[in-house]
Amino acid sequence: MEALKLEATRHSPAVDLDLTSGTFRIVGVSIPENASEFYTPIIEWIRGAMPSIPDGSTFSFSLSYFNSSSLKALYLALTEIKAGIDSGKKIDVQWHVDEEDEFMQEAGETFSEMVDIPLNMVTGSL
């Protein structure tokens, strides 16, 4: 499956989803005007690639800011990863949080609870 790579912009994160290199990360600011439009290809990529993602892979999310529509899109992306884990994949999900960043800490806790997925909270951004 072809890699999905997007450069970061001032309002959208860098996306690097690549089966060949084993890199799965979303990094940056996520406040696009239309989060559905931005994240739909990402969610579809994760869904399509999941059978080929090897055990031991890590999905990393390192976001400095996001709006509520990105919150929903990220939730949907995480539910795709959760589906893979439920089917037996051994995947680590890392949620990067800067020290003292209450907003991102709470967001990680919300996702962890709502997706029912163990998010590995990592201090420091990518």
Site string for other proteins, 40-69 (x = CB under 8 A): -------------------------x-xxx
Q: Counting contacts by CB under 8 A, is residue 77 touching other proteins?
A: no
Q: Which one-letter amino acid corresponds to residue 47?
A: R
Q: Counting contacts by CB under 8 A, is residue 114 touching other proteins?
A: yes
The torsion defined by the Cα of 5, 97, 58 and 87, in degrees rounded to 10, comes to -110
List the structure tokens of 37: 């439009």
How many residues bind to other proteins according to rule CB under 8 A? 24
Q: Which of 52, 37, 38, 36 is nearest to 3 (CA)?
A: 52
| Residue ranges in contact with other proteins by CB under 8 A | 10-11, 31-37, 65, 67-69, 71-73, 75-76, 100-104, 114
